[in-house]
Amino acid sequence: MKSIWQSDACEELLARAEQLQPTAPAQWGKFNCPRMLTHVTDGLRMATGELQVAPKKTPLKFTPIKQLVIYWLPFPKGVPTAPELLSRSPGEWAAEIKQFQEALRKFAADSERRDWPEHPAFGKLTAKDWGVLIYRHIDHHFKQFGV
């Protein structure tokens, strides 16, 4: 299972970000590519605690459902997300790419952290959980745009 804590997995996502094009068509869903990029960047900001996201009442907070979704089940397409992860409008493309790369590097450098914020849907997560979830979330959306 790939994790953002693995340097090769992190570098892979950084390289894939360089392949994104702002006009690339989505293979599914409602996002355009710039909107997707702000969404995954803000997801990283949420994971570091920089962006506050209201908790949701969901069965995903309970074991073993949480582990099944984070580690085993394919990410579903078209699942609703927190409104806070949709509130920022994309800016200039090169600046958005740079913000994503900086947020990803910042997150990846924090593997020893112990005080992770709670995920709005999954609740309390370990560093291992966060590493896998972040990788899988970004991978899911990059695939949405053929990267």
**pLDDT tens digits along 97-129:** 999 999 999 999 988 888 999 999 999 999 999
Label residue 48 exposed, middle or buried (CB < 10 Å: 0-12, 13-18, 19+): middle
In 28-120, DSSP assigns E strands to none
Give CA–CA dist 38/58, Å, rounded: 24
Predicted confidence (pLDDT) per residue in 30-64, tens digit: 999 999 999 999 999 999 999 999 999 999 999 89
